[in-house]
Amino acid sequence: MFDNLVKNLNSYLYFTEEELNFFLSLFEIKTIKKHENIVRAGKVCSHVMYINKGVLRYYYTINDIEYTTYIFTEDMWAAEYASFLTKQPSAVTIEALEPCELFLLSYDAVQQGYERGKVFERFGRKMAENLFITHVNEVSKMQTKSPEERYLNLMREQPEIISRVPLKYIASMLGIIPESLSRIRKRISSAR
């Protein structure tokens, strides 16, 4: 059940068997349907989620237009972490693009971990550091890379989402219209 999660946790840090069992006992298992929202814009994000199965899309809406910001798949952690930490309303909605199996940590469960010992504090530190680095890199990519470079990058880093996710969401995430993404894809395939 928790095999992939255990591998993921151990990739951050070494946990003793006792620490690991305690950690796993904090998780809740949740399955959600395609198009169900696990986080809603305007509501507090109450959980951190490990994606054991499925695909999640982050988006925000302005004037009825949806802007996709991230797409996450298996073995990734998801949350609107600023909302989770501050208990302020989430800026984004997180929607399942496929049926998902998620392992959830509530705010209280996370605090229980921090109270328990240093290894959990270290885990929380590394999560926050990774999130910070990822966010800085994403923003920098949007500022300095062309849409084509960003698409090539996405093919390298998350190749599976190209076949699993509607192209309109991928285009939105790259900051371009679907027609531009189609042109980029044609140019790349004819160049090969």
Give the footprint of its own copies on this chain (CB under 8 A): 62, 81-82, 85-86, 91, 114, 117-118, 121-122, 124-125, 128-129, 131-133, 135-137, 139-140, 144
Residue 122 or 168 having the CB closest to its own copies: 122
Residue 139 or 162 having the CB closest to its own copies: 139
Q: H or E element: which one contains 24? A: helix 17-25
Kindly list the distances between the CA atom of residue 100 and the CA atoms of 6, 20, 97, 169, in Å, as whole numbers in the listed order: 18, 24, 8, 18
**How far is residue 96's CA from residue 55's CA, in Å, rounded to a whole number?**
6
Residue 59 or 184 having the CB closest to its own copies: 59
Residue 103 or 120 having the CB closest to its own copies: 120
| Least distance to its own copies, CB of residue 51, Å | 20
| Least distance to its own copies, CB of residue 130, Å | 9
Q: At what angle do helices 17-25 and 107-116 cross, to 10 degrees?
A: 160
Check if the beta carbon of residue 103 is closer than 8 Å to that of residue 5: yes
